Amino acid sequence: MSEKALYRHLGRAVAARRNELTLSQDQVAAKLGLSRASIANLENGRQRIMVHQLFRLVDALNLKSILDLVPPIWTFEAELPEINIQLNAKEHSTVHRMLASAFVDDRRRKRSV
């Protein structure tokens, strides 16, 4: 999931919960110390939110946790830079053995299930 998709998901969750509680954007904004336009932008995924504001948002929306607003899984896979590592022969051999061992262990677990 890209950062853009994460913020869209967050915004939709905020809007849904706000509407469920019949709160206006102005009311939520006042609780966070933000403008109504900031809440509108947040709900549309166009504005990022600081961590302390996220916790205030959880409180304003009567939620138990920030986990109620974010997707259950989010990975950085698409955003990792390409890494070029040079290994000598011994290091290459060690990494190869570690990977081979991991795959063998994985196959053994699948067979035992």
Any domain includes 34: yes
Evaluated on CA atoms 51, 54, 59, 64, the torsion sign reads negative
Give the pLDDT confidence score for residue 11 in this predicted structure. 94
Any domain includes 76: no
**Looking at the structure, do residues 97 and 51 belong to the same domain, yes or no?**
no
- Please say whether the beta carbons of 20 and 62 come within 8 A: no
**Looking at the structure, do residues 86 and 64 belong to the same domain, yes or no?**
no
Count of domains in the chain?
2
Any domain includes 74: no
- Please say whether the beta carbons of 68 and 58 come within 8 A: yes
**Looking at the structure, do residues 9 and 62 belong to the same domain, yes or no?**
yes
Contacts of residue 69, Cβ cutoff 8 Å, sequence gap at least 6: 10, 13, 14, 17, 54, 57, 58, 61, 63
Whole domain around residue 101: which residue ranges?
81-112
pTM of the model: 0.64
Rounded percentage of the chain residues whose pLDDT exceeds 90:
45
Domain with residue 29: its CATH number is 1.10.260.40
Cα of first residue to Cα of last residue in the chain, in angstroms, is 30
**Looking at the structure, do residues 61 and 16 belong to the same domain, yes or no?**
yes
Any domain includes 73: no
**Looking at the structure, do residues 61 and 106 belong to the same domain, yes or no?**
no
**Looking at the structure, do residues 13 and 61 belong to the same domain, yes or no?**
yes
pLDDT 10s digits, 30-83: 999 999 999 999 999 999 999 899 999 999 999 998 888 887 776 655 554 556
